[in-house]
């Protein structure tokens, strides 16, 4: 469970999903450095504003990934006009280096976003989204999610029981494998037994007597309408600009940007707002809360 | 008004010759609280499962069951699923989904209710059960008691008329069981729900129930008002064994005719009044032979600290405890007090980070390559099923290398061809013991061996353990069952927050405790000293004799004419 992210905690999974789709899709389909830079900065700032407690290790991994990806591209691709130097008879070009840096930035920003997304999208929220598509499939998935920890725990119990009963001797590797197989087969039998009781319990509570409805504790409220509307509007601007080629950007043979236009500027602004939206919302909430506290 | 009834009901399982139920006739009226009791294999479970069509076993059924005069077989699917609620003894396995809120809404989703209606009903039930705090929790993180309350709530949410419960508290510790029964009483009292419950733990169910249905060998032997039936059980010693202490004491002491004008006491309070009003208190103390333990230590814990992960709290804190050879040692204590962890540590299954554990005078860490588990120590886990690997009982015994005929107790041979999961709880314990004895242990560790057993099987297990200690084996039992500990232990220890707060011989240990003690001890607190079981109380009352014998017989005489 995400603690402290006041931004999305109270939103419906649907609106949050739409937001993340809107913010990630442009990064995937463009190589425009402005959009990608906004995406990276926005995702990092938002993750801090949302108090996601990202570990230092995660940032370091991202940094290493960035360096590796940036370095890898010019080593393998030798297109581009501006040769920086020659290594092992292969030209290393400025264009390829910049392309590498920008694509690395894109990947890392998407990873930061995914982290925020998975922190928010706990299994029940994800299942809720899934159940919109198919209620039955979602039920099967929730049952499967329940079984994983149960089986793990039971396997440990069986292994302990067998060991303390002196039946699973651990004298050599063959004994070990044999013991492991016995534990596995016992757990499998137990799982079948278990399944029968669960099935009876489902039937006893009327599973399959008629059409099932779907209940979830999530509601699509005012906040969600606002979030969805903002996301979709900004996204529409970006898509329009993208479709008309206003911010297209080419690297090879030389770096060329399309001429600056009002539409491109509108797209940058929109993406900026979209990218920083979680941070903006969190700050608004924080300020509002501080104000409330003062009143109290 | 009659809500549920059975007419000439008989039932035979496929492939069996003798019927599991024969000629069952009874009728339950609306709002009645019926306690069903009977020994293991008396047909209680079969009867209860037949009352709920969805869980009814396969087999040949004759006769009919009626729900408000409609035969069960011709009820429509929805009524049958939602009007009759059913809870079994397995807390874990009845849970379907991974979140508490989803579990509560599951049946309502099946009913096809709109989302708003579901939201309201789920909220209502969560409040009534006081489980709002658990609403967002994962179901696998709940304790056994919380799981069973959730199961009850998930059934009650459809607003059934009847609740059928098959040993719902069998797998719970006494506190959780008591909470569960309190909730049932609340459902009965405040929502006038009809409740039919089968239980082995009758101390609290009997006083709560309106009527008592007693089964034996697939037949109903008596059915009627609880107090009347309880008083009439004195001719049936096996059934009496499972009754509350007050009923047992009354039944032993009320010599025919003499107590006709005295109602049978059901609770501790009523039992206390009965003893105070009817018996003299000249002999206060029950004499017990002094117990002396042997010199050699079987297990000794010295300042043991244990925790499961670096950031968690200590489960065992400075635990120091010594069990001597040949003892039957019982460890009691609340949930999470570290009893089971201490047992696992003694079995070498959990690593402690400070202190020492010695098994027969040798450091546990010096036993290498499983030498601890051959000819030295063996453990019977809480869930005995985890010990079984084969498809028949006979195979289990062969696999372990047990010779059935040389066991120190009589093994139920009728079970040899059955699957080890299908035999009764008591038989499972015996099978587990039989398997363990094949390794010739000198020290046996048992975790909750009496969980879910009927009173008769408890005494059977107790006798088996006694015979094992008589043959020189040291037995350590971790249990919630204080009645069992009081009756069989040589010494007892009370665990609290990871260490032992007191240990003594049972008649001192339980007589000194005033909350954590047997119901017999609570009943005679301040009246008689050192009486901790119903049998002790009976012996003391007999020795003291009745108050005002002449007056009483005069009264009885008046009563008769």
**Contact (CB, 8 A) for B462 and B487:** yes
3-state helix, strand, coil in chain B (%, to 5): 40, 25, 35
Start-to-end C-alpha separation, chain B: 37
Do B253 and B369 lie in one domain? The reply is no
Size of interface A-B (CB pairs under 8 A): 178
Do B254 and B231 lie in one domain? The reply is no
In a domain, B397, yes or no: yes
B143 touches chain A (CB under 8 A): no
Do B56 and B183 lie in one domain? The reply is yes
Residue of A nearest to B396 (CA): A167
A1 touches chain B (CB under 8 A): yes
Q: Do B115 and A213 touch (CB under 8 A)?
A: yes
* C-alpha to C-alpha distance for B109 and B171, rounded to whole angstroms: 29
Do B391 and B313 lie in one domain? The reply is yes
pLDDT of amino acid A27: 93
Structure token pair of residue A248:
């297209």
| B-contacting residues in A 217-236 (Cβ below 8 Å) | 217
Closest by Cβ to B110, choosing from A149, A205, A216: A205
Q: Which of A61-65, A120-124, B8-12, B356-360 has the lowest mean pLDDT?
A: A120-124
B216/chain A closest Cα distance in angstroms: 26
Contacts of B143 in chain A (CB under 8 A): none
B305 touches chain A (CB under 8 A): no
DSSP class of residue B311 equals: T
B115 touches chain A (CB under 8 A): yes
In a domain, B243, yes or no: no
Do B264 and B187 lie in one domain? The reply is no
Closest by Cβ to A206, choosing from B88, B111, B377: B111
Q: Do B421 and A189 touch (CB under 8 A)?
A: yes
pLDDT of amino acid B558: 39
| Structural domain ending residue among the three candidates B486, B504, B522 | B504
In a domain, B541, yes or no: yes
Backbone angles phi, psi at B453, to 5 degrees: -95, 155
Do B555 and B457 lie in one domain? The reply is no
Please give the average per-residue pLDDT across A139-150, as a whole number: 84
| A-contacting residues in B 2-41 (Cβ below 8 Å) | none
> Domain residues for B468?
297-504
What is the residue-wise DSSP string for chain A? ---S-TTTTTS-HHHHHHHHHHHHHHHHH---HHHHHHHHHHHHHHHHHTT----HHHHHHHHHHHHHHHHHHHHH---SS-EEEEETTEEEEHHHHHHHHHHHHHHHHHHHHHHHHHHHS-HHHHHHHHHHH-HHHHHHHHHHHHHHHHHHHHHHHHHHHHHHTT-S--SSHHHHHHHHHHHHHHHHHHHHHHHHHHHHHHHHTTTTSS------S----HHHHHHHHHHHHHHHHHHHHHHTTTT-EE-SSS-EEPPP-HHHHHHHHHHHHHHHHHHHHHHHHHHHHHHHHHH-
In a domain, B525, yes or no: no
| B-contacting residues in A 126-155 (Cβ below 8 Å) | 139, 142-143, 145-146, 149-150, 153-154
Closest CA relative to residue B544, chosen from B529, B559, B560, B523? B529
* C-alpha to C-alpha distance for A183 and A181, rounded to whole angstroms: 5
Closest by Cβ to B421, choosing from A157, A193, A202: A193
| Structural domain ending residue among the three candidates B193, B210, B236 | B236
Say if residue A170's pLDDT is above 70. no
From the centroid of its chain, how far is CA B82? 29
Do B31 and B93 lie in one domain? The reply is yes
Q: Do A146 and B97 touch (CB under 8 A)?
A: yes
* C-alpha to C-alpha distance for B48 and B450, rounded to whole angstroms: 23
Contacts of A203 in chain B (CB under 8 A): 54-55, 81
Q: Do A166 and B109 touch (CB under 8 A)?
A: no
A169 touches chain B (CB under 8 A): yes
Q: Kindly report the CA angle at A51 between A50 and A55, in degrees rounded to 5? A: 125
B167 touches chain A (CB under 8 A): no
**Contact (CB, 8 A) for A97 and A74:** yes
User: Per-residue confidence at A140, pLDDT binned at 50, 70, 90?
Assistant: confident
Q: Do A165 and B435 touch (CB under 8 A)?
A: yes
Closest CA relative to residue B394, chosen from B402, B384, B386? B402
Do B52 and B105 lie in one domain? The reply is yes
Contacts of B390 in chain A (CB under 8 A): none
Strands B354-359 and B297-306: antiparallel
In a domain, B356, yes or no: yes
Say if residue A3's pLDDT is above 50. no
Contacts of A200 in chain B (CB under 8 A): 54-55, 88
Closest by Cβ to A206, choosing from B110, B114, B151: B110
Backbone angles phi, psi at B255, to 5 degrees: -65, 140
pLDDT of amino acid A218: 84
* CATH number, domain with residue B500: 3.40.50.300
B374 touches chain A (CB under 8 A): yes
Q: Do B93 and A170 touch (CB under 8 A)?
A: no
What digits encode the pLDDT tens for the residues B500-559? 999 999 989 998 888 889 999 999 998 998 899 999 999 999 888 888 654 454 444 333
Q: Which helix (H) or strand (E) holds B433?
A: helix B425-437
B507/chain A closest Cα distance in angstroms: 32
Q: Do A186 and B112 touch (CB under 8 A)?
A: no
Contacts of B381 in chain A (CB under 8 A): 157, 160-161, 164
User: Per-residue confidence at A291, pLDDT binned at 50, 70, 90?
Assistant: confident
C-alpha separations of B517 from B181, B242, B334, B531, B533 in Å: 19, 18, 12, 11, 10
C-alpha separations of B428 from A177, B113, B458 in Å: 27, 43, 13
Q: Do B112 and A154 touch (CB under 8 A)?
A: no
What digits encode the pLDDT tens for the residues B184-231? 999 999 999 999 999 988 889 999 999 999 999 999 999 999 999 988
Contacts of B435 in chain A (CB under 8 A): 165, 167
The pLDDT profile of chain B, 561 residues, written as one tens digit per residue, is 899 999 999 999 998 889 999 999 999 999 999 999 988 888 999 999 999 999 999 999 999 999 998 999 999 999 999 999 999 988 888 999 888 999 999 999 999 999 899 999 999 999 999 999 999 888 888 998 999 999 999 999 999 999 999 999 988 888 889 999 999 999 999 999 999 999 988 889 999 999 999 999 999 999 999 999 988 888 888 888 889 999 999 998 887 556 667 889 999 999 999 999 888 888 888 888 888 888 899 999 999 999 998 888 999 999 999 999 999 999 998 888 899 999 999 999 999 999 999 999 999 999 887 788 888 999 999 999 999 988 899 999 998 888 888 888 888 888 899 999 889 889 999 999 999 998 889 999 999 999 889 888 999 999 999 999 999 999 999 999 999 999 999 999 999 999 999 999 998 999 888 888 999 999 999 899 889 999 999 999 988 888 865 445 444 433 333
Structure token pair of residue A242:
């993208």
In a domain, B179, yes or no: yes
Do B201 and B82 lie in one domain? The reply is yes
A189 touches chain B (CB under 8 A): yes
| Structural domain ending residue among the three candidates B212, B236, B260 | B236
Q: Do B109 and A215 touch (CB under 8 A)?
A: yes
Number of domains in chain B: 3
In a domain, B98, yes or no: yes
pLDDT of amino acid A169: 58
Please give the average per-residue pLDDT across A102-126, as a whole number: 89
**Contact (CB, 8 A) for B506 and B489:** yes
Do B278 and B301 lie in one domain? The reply is no
Do B131 and B197 lie in one domain? The reply is yes
B119 touches chain A (CB under 8 A): yes
Do B256 and B108 lie in one domain? The reply is no
Please give the average per-residue pLDDT across A231-259, as a whole number: 89
Backbone angles phi, psi at B523, to 5 degrees: -65, -40
Contacts of A217 in chain B (CB under 8 A): 101, 119, 135
Closest by Cβ to A123, choosing from B98, B370, B377: B98
CB atoms within 10 A of CB B503: 17
Contacts of A213 in chain B (CB under 8 A): 108-109, 111-115, 118
Contacts of A122 in chain B (CB under 8 A): none
A191 touches chain B (CB under 8 A): no
Q: Rounded to the nearest 10 degrees, what angle do helices B100-111 and B115-129 cross at?
A: 130
In a domain, B60, yes or no: yes
């Amino acid at each position: 469970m995400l603690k402290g992210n006041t931004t999305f905690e109270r939103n419906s999974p649907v609106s949050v999903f739409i937001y993340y789709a809107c913010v990630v899709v442009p990064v995937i389909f463009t190589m425009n450095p402005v959009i990608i830079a906004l995406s990276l900065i926005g995702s990092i700032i938002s993750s801090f504003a949302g108090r996601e407690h990202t570990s230092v290790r995660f940032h370091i991994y991202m940094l290493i990934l960035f360096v590796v990806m940036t370095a890898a591209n010019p080593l393998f691709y030798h297109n581009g006009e501006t040769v920086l130097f020659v290594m092992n008879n292969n030209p290393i070009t400025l264009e390829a280096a910049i392309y590498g840096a920008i694509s690395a930035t894109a990947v890392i920003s998407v990873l930061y976003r995914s982290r925020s997304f998975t922190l928010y999208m706990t299994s029940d929220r994800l299942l809720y989204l899934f159940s919109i598509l198919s209620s039955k499939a979602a039920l099967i998935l929730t049952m499967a999610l329940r079984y994983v920890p149960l089986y793990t725990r039971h396997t440990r119990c069986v292994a302990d029981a067998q060991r303390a009963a002196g039946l699973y001797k651990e004298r050599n590797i063959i004994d070990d494998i044999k013991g492991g197989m016995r534990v596995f087969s016992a757990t499998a039998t137990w799982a079948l037994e278990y399944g029968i009781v669960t099935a009876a319990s489902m039937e006893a509570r009327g599973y399959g007597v008629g059409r099932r409805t779907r209940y979830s504790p999530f509601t699509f409220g005012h906040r969600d309408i606002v979030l969805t509307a903002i996301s979709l509007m900004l996204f529409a601007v970006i898509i329009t600009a993208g479709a008309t080629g206003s911010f297209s950007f080419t690297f090879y043979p030389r770096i060329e940007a399309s001429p600056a236009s009002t539409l491109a500027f509108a797209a940058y602004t929109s993406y900026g707002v979209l990218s920083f939206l979680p941070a903006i919302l969190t700050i608004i909430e924080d300020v509002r809360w501080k104000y409330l506290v003062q009143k109290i | 008004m009659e809500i549920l009834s059975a007419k000439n009901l008989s039932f035979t399982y496929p492939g069996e010759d003798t019927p599991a139920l024969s000629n069952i006739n009874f009728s339950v009226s609306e709002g009645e609280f019926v306690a069903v009791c009977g020994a293991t294999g008396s047909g209680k479970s079969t009867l209860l499962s037949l009352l709920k069509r969805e869980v009814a076993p396969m087999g040949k059924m004759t006769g009919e069951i009626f729900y408000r005069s409609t035969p069960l077989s011709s009820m429509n699917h929805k009524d049958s699923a939602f009007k009759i609620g059913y809870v079994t003894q397995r807390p874990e396995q009845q849970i379907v989904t991974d979140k508490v809120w989803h579990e509560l809404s599951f049946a309502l989703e099946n009913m096809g209710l709109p989302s708003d209606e579901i939201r309201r009903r789920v909220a209502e039930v969560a409040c009534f059960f006081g489980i709002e705090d658990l609403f967002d929790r994962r179901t696998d993180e709940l304790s056994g008691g919380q799981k069973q309350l959730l199961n009850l709530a998930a059934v009650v949410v459809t607003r059934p008329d009847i609740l059928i419960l098959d040993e719902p508290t069998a797998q719970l510790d006494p506190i959780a069981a008591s909470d569960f029964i309190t909730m049932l009483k609340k459902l009965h009292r405040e929502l006038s729900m009809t409740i039919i419950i089968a239980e082995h733990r009758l101390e609290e169910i009997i006083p709560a129930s309106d009527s008592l249905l007693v089964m034996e060998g697939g037949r109903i032997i008596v059915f009627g008002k609880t107090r009347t039936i309880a008083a009439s059980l004195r001719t049936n010693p096996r059934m009496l064994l499972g009754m509350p202490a007050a009923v047992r004491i009354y039944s032993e002491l009320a010599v025919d005719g003499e107590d006709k004008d005295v109602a049978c006491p059901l609770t501790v309070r009523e039992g206390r009044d009965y003893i105070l009003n009817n018996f003299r208190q000249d002999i206060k103390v029950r004499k017990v032979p002094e117990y002396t333990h042997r010199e050699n230590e079987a297990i000794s814990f010295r300042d043991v600290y244990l925790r499961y992960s670096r950031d968690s709290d200590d489960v065992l804190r400075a635990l120091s405890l010594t069990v001597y050879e040949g003892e039957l040692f019982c460890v009691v204590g609340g949930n999470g007090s570290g009893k089971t962890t201490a047992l696992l540590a003694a079995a070498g299954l959990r690593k402690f980070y400070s202190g020492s554990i010695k098994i027969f005078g040798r450091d546990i860490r010096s036993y290498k390559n499983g030498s601890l588990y051959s000819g030295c120590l063996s453990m019977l886990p809480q869930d005995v099923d985890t010990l079984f690997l084969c498809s028949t009982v006979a195979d289990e015994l062969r696999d372990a290398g047990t010779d059935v005929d040389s066991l120190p107790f009589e093994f139920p041979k009728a079970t040899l061809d059955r699957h080890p999961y299908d035999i009764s709880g008591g038989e499972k314990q015996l099978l587990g013991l039989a398997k363990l004895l094949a390794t010739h242990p000198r020290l046996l560790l048992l975790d909750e061996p009496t969980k879910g057993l009927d009173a008769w099987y408890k005494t059977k297990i107790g006798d088996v353990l006694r015979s094992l200690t008589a043959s020189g084996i040291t037995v350590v039992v971790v249990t919630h069952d204080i009645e069992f500990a009081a009756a069989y232990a040589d010494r007892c220890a009370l665990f609290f927050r990871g260490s032992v707060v007191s240990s003594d011989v049972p008649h001192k240990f339980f007589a000194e405790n005033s909350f954590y003690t047997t119901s017999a001890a609570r009943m005679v607190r301040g009246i008689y000293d050192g009486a901790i079981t119903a049998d002790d109380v009976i012996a003391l009352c007999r020795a003291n004799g009745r108050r005002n014998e002449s007056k009483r017989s005069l009264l009885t005489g008046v009563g008769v004419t």
